[in-house]
């Protein structure tokens, strides 16, 4: 089993880091005695995204903690910073006392976000390196104990959402998020931090390379991983995410490049062939950089779970087959219930009816899909993995706004029968010949956009899905 780690926007319910401000929102300029805005232009900023000045008549503001789920945190926290400046606190926090380079604050248990307001900063030595910690000295550990404990038993950690891979604008290595930047909630988590987590846990990292990343980016990233990753660990390398999926910009890019290069006159086939070509180039670069350790690099070629033909096309070139170590799909169950064709009817179902249909789905259509892809993998002489997996109960194409459907799907994810369904699903994957299954996702606050998490927030320690997955791991 493996796990996708949920992305870390400022509203995240998962807190992996001892520095709780690692997922703070970017600074926003607010005018004194004026309505809230996201849009006022920022003043000159440092390379690590702190303001060099506070414009007259304004202050700068950041959500340090936005989620209402904070019972897992101590009430009294310490804000530490370098440089010189003055911060105030608003919303869900009050200032207790302060000293040189630190403030002590108390967070309340209301829904109000914990907001930092920067009123002054020294242009010659701007306030920077802001940390929000439970221990005054920070403890020396990058990751929270509870987060590390939740990863035990996993064999791979996929960083697709940490890296904000979908629709990524990153092209050159100097554009990447770097450790110490304050706006990582907008930029994504640095590769250095991904490697640090892999080293700390002893779990293999699964990297998804931005679709626009140039050759220099790929080479520099490979060098960083080679130099910093524990040499005992393998690594999975995948070009972007779901390049077959038309909802993402990486699909349009691959289609345009495939047509430009004349890989096929059919747009979708050209798209898939470019996916195979660029995947091969990226993986080959990692292998060249790793040199004598190149066998540690596991080349991932992904296809659409419902359509084995996509895998054949992606791997149609000798170059692709030479660089492939595994085929990966996302064998979700329950997708069709949130589509425009079915959502209105499904929203009127009882939970009993929904689970009756889901049981048929998992035992029938989903298992058939797994078997078909397993046969494709066997024919190509490659193991079959899942880059994402689990339930897919969510409204799509406008159906996410159906409140009855949303409530039904959330209730289903919380129901003990979902745990039983996961056990059947996981057993079916194994029986079909599936290998590494990387579940989606670690933690997620359920709502109109889905109920993706094994857990919903840091206040939970178990759930039906969680128990099923860990029962499978420990079996």
pLDDT tens digits, residue range 452-462?
999 999 999 99
Distances 84 to 53, 296, 473 between C-alpha atoms, Å: 11, 46, 49
Pull the structure tokens for residue 329.
């799909």
What is the Cα 101 distance to its own chain's centre?
Answer: 33
Residue 140 has pLDDT above 90, yes or no: no
Pull the structure tokens for residue 416.
């003990």
Confidence (pLDDT) at 203: 99
% the chain with pLDDT above 70: 99
**CA 58, CA 194: separation in Å to the nearest integer?**
36
Beta bridge partners of 301: 327
Residue 109 has pLDDT above 90, yes or no: no
Task: Identify whether the C-beta of residue 358 lies closer than 8 Å to the C-beta of residue 333.
Answer: yes
**CA 110, CA 302: separation in Å to the nearest integer?**
44
Task: Identify whether the C-beta of residue 73 lies closer than 8 Å to the C-beta of residue 107.
Answer: yes
Per-residue pLDDT reduced to its tens digit, 241-256:
999 999 999 999 999 9
Other beta carbons less than 10 A from residue 247's beta carbon:
12
Confidence (pLDDT) at 116: 98
Distances 270 to 210, 252, 282, 304, 314 between C-alpha atoms, Å: 19, 11, 18, 15, 10
**CA 421, CA 204: separation in Å to the nearest integer?**
28
Average pLDDT score over residue span 286-311: 99
Average pLDDT score over residue span 440-446: 98
**CA 387, CA 206: separation in Å to the nearest integer?**
9
**Residue 441, preceding peptide bond in cis (omega within 30° of 0):** yes
**CA 63, CA 187: separation in Å to the nearest integer?**
16
Average pLDDT score over residue span 179-183: 97
Task: Identify whether the C-beta of residue 121 lies closer than 8 Å to the C-beta of residue 42.
Answer: no
Parallel, antiparallel or unpaired: strands 326-329 and 384-386: parallel
Per-residue pLDDT reduced to its tens digit, 21-53:
999 999 999 999 999 998 899 999 999 999 999
Residue 137 has pLDDT above 90, yes or no: no
Per-residue pLDDT reduced to its tens digit, 353-385:
999 999 999 999 999 999 999 999 999 999 999
Return the ∠ at Cα 153 (arms to 151 and 156), rounded to 5°.
Answer: 70
Mean pLDDT computed over every residue of the chain: 97
Burial of 401 (0-12, 13-18, 19+ CB in 10 A): exposed
Per-residue pLDDT reduced to its tens digit, 393-437:
999 999 999 999 999 999 999 999 999 999 999 999 999 999 999
Parallel, antiparallel or unpaired: strands 85-91 and 28-31: unpaired
pLDDT band of residue 329 (cuts 50, 70, 90) is: very high
What is the Cα 88 distance to its own chain's centre?
Answer: 31
**CA 79, CA 102: separation in Å to the nearest integer?**
5
Per-residue pLDDT reduced to its tens digit, 190-220:
999 999 999 999 999 999 999 999 999 999 9
pLDDT band of residue 135 (cuts 50, 70, 90) is: confident
Confidence (pLDDT) at 134: 93
Average pLDDT score over residue span 233-246: 99
Task: Identify whether the C-beta of residue 5 lies closer than 8 Å to the C-beta of residue 158.
Answer: yes
Task: Identify whether the C-beta of residue 121 lies closer than 8 Å to the C-beta of residue 81.
Answer: no
Residue 189 has pLDDT above 80, yes or no: yes
């Amino acid at each position: 089993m493996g796990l996708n780690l949920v992305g870390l926007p400022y509203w995240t319910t998962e807190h992996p880091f001892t520095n709780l401000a690692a997922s703070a929102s970017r600074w926003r300029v607010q005018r004194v005695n004026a309505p809230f805005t996201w849009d006022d232009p920022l003043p000159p900023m440092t390379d690590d995204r702190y303001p060099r000045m506070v414009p007259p008549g304004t202050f700068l503001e950041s959500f340090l903690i936005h989620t209402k789920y904070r019972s897992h945190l101590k009430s009294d926290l310490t804000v530490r910073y370098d440089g010189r400046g003055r911060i105030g606190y608003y919303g869900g926090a009050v200032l207790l006392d302060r000293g040189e380079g630190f403030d002590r604050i108390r967070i309340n248990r209301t829904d109000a976000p914990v907001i930092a307001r920067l009123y002054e900063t020294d242009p010659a030595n701007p306030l920077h390196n802001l940390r929000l910690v439970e221990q005054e000295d920070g403890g020396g550990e990058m990751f929270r104990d509870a987060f590390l404990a939740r990863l035990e038993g996993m064999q791979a950690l996929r960083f697709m959402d940490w890296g904000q891979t979908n629709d990524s604008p990153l092209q050159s290595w100097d554009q990447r998020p770097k450790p110490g930047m304050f706006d990582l909630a907008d930029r994504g988590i640095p590769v250095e931090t991904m490697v640090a987590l892999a080293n700390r846990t002893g779990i293999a990292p699964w990297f998804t390379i931005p679709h626009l990343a140039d050759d220099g980016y790929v080479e520099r990233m490979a060098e960083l991983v080679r130099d910093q990753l524990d040499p005992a660990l393998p690594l999975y390398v995948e070009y972007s995410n779901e390049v077959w999926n038309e909802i993402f910009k990486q699909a349009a890019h691959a289609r345009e490049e495939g047509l430009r290069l004349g890989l096929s006159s059919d747009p979708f086939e050209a798209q898939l062939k470019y996916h195979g070509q660029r995947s091969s180039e990226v993986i080959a670069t990692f292998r060249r950089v790793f040199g004598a350790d190149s066998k540690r690099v596991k080349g991932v070629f992904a296809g659409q779970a419902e359509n084995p033909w996509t895998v054949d096309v992606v791997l149609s070139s000798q170059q692709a087959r030479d660089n492939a170590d595994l085929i990966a799909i996302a064998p979700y169950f329950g997708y069709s219930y949130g589509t425009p064709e079915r959502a209105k009817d499904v929203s009127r179902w009882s939970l009993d009816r929904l689970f009756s249909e889901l049981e048929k789905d998992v035992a029938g259509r989903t298992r058939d899909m797994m078997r078909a892809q397993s046969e494709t993998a066997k024919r190509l002489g490659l193991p079959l993995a899942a880059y994402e997996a689990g339930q897919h109960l969510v409204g799509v194409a406008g159906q996410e706004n159906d409140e009855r459907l949303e409530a039904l799907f959330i209730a289903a994810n919380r129901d003990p029968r979902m745990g039983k369904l996961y056990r059947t699903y996981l057993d079916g994957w194994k029986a079909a010949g599936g290998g590494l299954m990387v579940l989606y996702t670690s933690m997620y606050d359920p709502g109109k956009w889905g109920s993706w998490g094994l857990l919903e927030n840091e206040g939970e320690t178990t759930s039906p899905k969680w128990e099923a997955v860990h029962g499978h791991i420990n079996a």
